[in-house]
Structure 1
Amino acid sequence: MPITNYSVLAGKPTAGKVVTGASTHYQITMQAPGGPFTVAVNIQSVDGSEVLYDIVEDFTPPDLAELTALPMGMTALKSEPGGSALDFVRSTVNGQPMITKEQMILLPQATTKSRGNAEEQMVQRARAKALENAVVTLLNMTVADKDGVIYAFGSSFSDSGKVDGIHDIHMNQGNPVGGKGGGFSKDNGVWQDGALFINLPSKGTWTGVFIAFQTESWSTDSSGNPV
């Protein structure tokens, strides 16, 4: 079953912080009609699988005109081609893949063996910090730009009358059935991947932030399951 409430949130970021727990993520507060909203960006995995990420500068969104025509706030998306929905395996930009596994950077998680080694732990923390620092830098640049906007793609949620938001801002297909990562096979689907697109009008730039997990296959069928 695909993720629920596939959407894109467009808004102005105002603050950010690291939230630890079962899944360490970077939490961005965004202002937009219907908000404020919370954007939860995974910087570590829940199941201990290795994180892949890439930050694409001088990026062009797959359908720039449609994206910029969206209103500020939360917009539900149809999980199908020809619109604003994203698919890491199928989306293209000017005839080229929007993102590939080969261009992504690996952030290994600490292994059980290395957790008792202080030096290894330090290395692992430094690697995890790289993604966090990159997101913080982009956040600060967007806050500084008076017209800066973040477009966050993922699964929208309502927090019981508190702050609503969006999460699952990563690849949402190719999860294995059974074994490591198998618990997320229920989220598999096509044209429902998450990402961050950052627009800085003062600089005339777009930046794409893409996150996936090593357990996810980049060869998927029409239901988003690995083949």
Structure 2
Amino acid sequence: MPVQRFGVLKCKVTAYKEERDDRDPHFQIEVVDDQGTHYRISVNVMSRSEQSEVLYLVDEDFNASAISILPNIKLGFTPINHNNRDIALDYIRSSLFDPSSMKPLSHHITGPNNDLNDLMEHYIQKAINEDALLYVYGSRWGPEKNRDHIFRFQPGNGLHNVHMNQGNKGRWKGDNASYQDGGLLIQFKDHWVGIFLAFLSQSWCTDEKGHPTEFCGHTQMRQV
């Protein structure tokens, strides 16, 4: 799955699928843009590291004023770079939320409405029902020659890394960058919902390249 570039995809949701029993489960979302191009959004619901849990925060009244240009961008994928950083997400530098509000949640707990898959299903189904716009921040792959192995559309396209992408050490340090955090924003008719994901192993003290440091230069953030 070669990564092409990081950016934001403006789209509509068409379907979704839960993964609970896989060794590397994701919540899979099928979306489409105004050109009829289909994408699969692969959202981590469990960390591949045994020493890290997935942290989540849902803001049901997200203040989108800081990125108010979003409704004006075209549907489809928009790469993010230093020239349009005003539409980027940065969990540390953009003051999007209080990180101490993020909580760990398992991807699979017996019963309804009590795990990360259930949480994702609730908001994604609501987006389908209300024909809401979805903004997905992540790393794009494709187009590929083969059909997508989950939703079977062709060519395969998609986004992953839909979570915080800084403060990593070891295996995942190559993903570090500032202003390239992933997440989901849903634009309903009268409000926005923000869904933000991170891993317990990630540091909230990072330098301007997103690498972990011992000193937190961003005083508005607190260690989770």
TM-score range, shorter chain: 0.7 to 0.9
Q: Post-superposition, which runs of at least 4 consecutive aligned residues in structure 1 deviate over 6 A?
A: none
Secondary structure in structure 2 of the residue aligned to 1:59:
coil
- Give the equivalent residue in structure 2 for 1:45: 47
Structure 2: 5+ residue stretches without partners: 146-154, 214-224
Aligned to 1:210: 196
Give the number of equivalent residue pairs: 198
Does 77-86 or 40-49 show the bigger shift?
A: 77-86
TM normalised by structure 2 equals: 0.81
Structure 2 equivalent of residue 219 of structure 1 = 205
CA deviation after TM superposition for structure 1 residue 81, in Å: 7.5
1:155 aligns with 2:142: no
> SS state of the match for residue 165, structure 1?
strand
What are the Cα deviations for residues 169-217 of structure 1, in whole angstroms up to 9, with x where unaligned?
00000012xxxxx20011111000000001111xx01000000001100
Distance in 2 separating the partners of 1:187 and 1:150: 24
In the alignment, which of 133, 138, 142 is matched to residue 123 of structure 2?
A: 138
* Equivalent in the alignment of 2:14: 14
Q: Verify the 8 A CA contact 1:174 1:188 in the aligned structure 2.
A: yes
CA contact (8 A) 1:8 1:77 kept: yes
- Supply the AA of the counterpart residue of 1:125: I
Alignment partner of 2:187 out of 176, 194, 199: 199
Aligned to 1:23: 24
1:186 aligned partner: 174
Q: Is the 8 A contact 2:163 2:183 kept in 1?
A: yes
Once the two structures are TM-superposed, the CA of residue 102 in structure 1 deviates from its matched residue by 0.4
1:100 to 91, 98, 101: 98
Question: Residue type of the partner of 2:158?
Answer: G
RMSD after superposition: 2.2
Partner of 1:5: 5
TM-score (norm 1): 0.80
Rounded to whole Å, the distance in 2 between the matches of 1:226 and 1:4 is 24
Question: Aligned equivalents of 2:207 and 2:27: distance in 1?
Answer: 31
Q: Kindly, what percent of the aligned residue pairs are identical?
A: 31
Contact 1:9 1:74 in 2 (8 A): yes
Say which SS state the counterpart of residue 63 (structure 1) adopts: helix
Rounded to whole Å, the distance in 1 between the matches of 2:212 and 2:75 is: 35
